[in-house]
Every structure is written in C-alpha cells, then in structure tokens.
Amino acid sequence: MSGVAFILISILTLAAALATATLPNLMHAAFCFVLALLGLASFFFLLGAEFVGLALVFIYIGAVAVLIVFTILLTRRDSKEHHGVNWSGVLIAFAVFVGLIWAVLKTQSLSIVPPHIRALTVRQIGQTLMTGYVWPLQCVGLLLTAALIGALVLVMEEKK
C-alpha cells in the first residue's frame, strides 16, 4: 500500500519538478513548483512526520509560493524565445546531484527495510523545541521579527 503510494508520489513530484525546470511560461513553472512541494509534503506524511509535512505545506505553499508568484509578476519577463543552453545552470545542477549522491552513498545506515520508529507527536516536537532548542527558536523568532520590522520600514511613507 505505502509502496504504491510512494511510487505514485515520486512520479508526481519528479514530473512536477521537471515541468518546473522546462516550462517556458514562468507562471506555469511556479505552479508546477507548488505541485512538487506538495509531493514532498506527502512524502513526509507517508513517513509519519505529519508535523513537518504540514509545516512544509503551510510555509511553502501558503507563503513562499505566493511570494514567488508575486516576484514573477513584478519582474515581468515572459521569455518565450530560448537563449540556448545555460551551461552554468547545468554545471551547478550536476554538482548538486553529485554531492547528493555522494552523501547518500556515504550514509552508513542505508538499509532497505525502514527502522521501526514511532511517529513523532506534535507534543513531543513542542517539548523538544521549548526545552533543548529554546535558544535557536528564540533567535529565529528575533530574526523574523527584525525582518518584519525591516519590511515595514521599507514601505513606510517618507514624511514630507
């Protein structure tokens, strides 16, 4: 059951990712990117990490995707014609791919049978965040608040 689901979700995610990279219309690419993110989130659901999956949906589809879409609208460049192959992109993609493969192969505990881990409840995650990781959490909070205030300062009307 979960094997079939895994294959289906993989196909969906990969197809969406491929479409994101190849579609000529930027807006279509952005929506395909959202689809790929949805596939990733469903992987987390499949692994029993509900919270991470939901956070991914919340942050990436709810906020980051809208940001991307708006950025595309602001830049306004429908590049219908092709400029040939972008070699730097190919190089970076290849480097990332090799790096990931190397990391996967170096992983010691790479076993086919998944180890039996109990699914994390939201309560456990909350307790971990509020005890062991409370300082990183506070730092992230501070950073986000600073970003919010910065955005407000940027759009503030200049007093005449």
Partner 1 sequence: MSSALDQIFVHAKHWLLSWIAGAPGWVVQIVSSLINIVALLIVFLTLFALISVLERKILGRMQNRYGPNRVGPFGLFQPVADGIKMLIKEDIVPARADKVLHFLAPVILAAVAILTLGVIPYGRNMTAFRIDGGILFFFAVGSATELAVFMAGWASNNKFSMLGAMRAIAQMFSYELPLIITVLPAVMVVGSLMPDRIVFAQGEYTLGIVPRWFVFTPWGAAAFILFFVSGLVESNRTPFDVPEGESEIVAGHMTEYSGFKYATFFLAEYLGMFAVSGMAVTLFLGGWHAPARVLEFVPSYLWFFGKLSALLFVYIWLRATLPRTRVDQMMNVAWKFMLPMAFTCVIAAAVWHYGGRGLRGWLWSLLVIVVVYSALSILLDTRRKFARRVYRFAE
Binding mask 65-104 for partner 1 (x = CB under 8 A): xx--x---x-------------------------------
Give 27 or 140: the residue with its C-beta nearer to partner 1: 27
- Tokens representing 1 are 């059951």
Contact residue for partner 1 among 10, 24, 62, 89 (CB under 8 A): 62
61 counts as binding partner 1 under rule CB under 8 A:
yes
- Closest distance to partner 1 from the beta carbon of 88 (Å): 30
- CA distance linking residue 101 with residue 75, whole number of Å: 35
Residue of 17, 26, 40, 50 interacting with partner 1 (CB under 8 A)? 50
Helix (H) or strand (E) run with residue 120 in it: none
Strands (E), the chain: none
Give me the residue label for tokens 């987390």. Answer: 44
- Does 29 contact partner 1 by CB under 8 A? no
CB neighbours of residue 76 within 10 Å: 7
CA 25 to chain centre: 21
CB closer to partner 1 out of 17 and 125: 125
Sign of the C-alpha dihedral computed for residues 102, 92, 62 and 64 taken in this order: positive
Interface residues with partner 1 (CB under 8 A) are 1, 27-28, 31, 34, 50-51, 54-55, 57-58, 61-63, 65-66, 69, 73, 119, 121-123
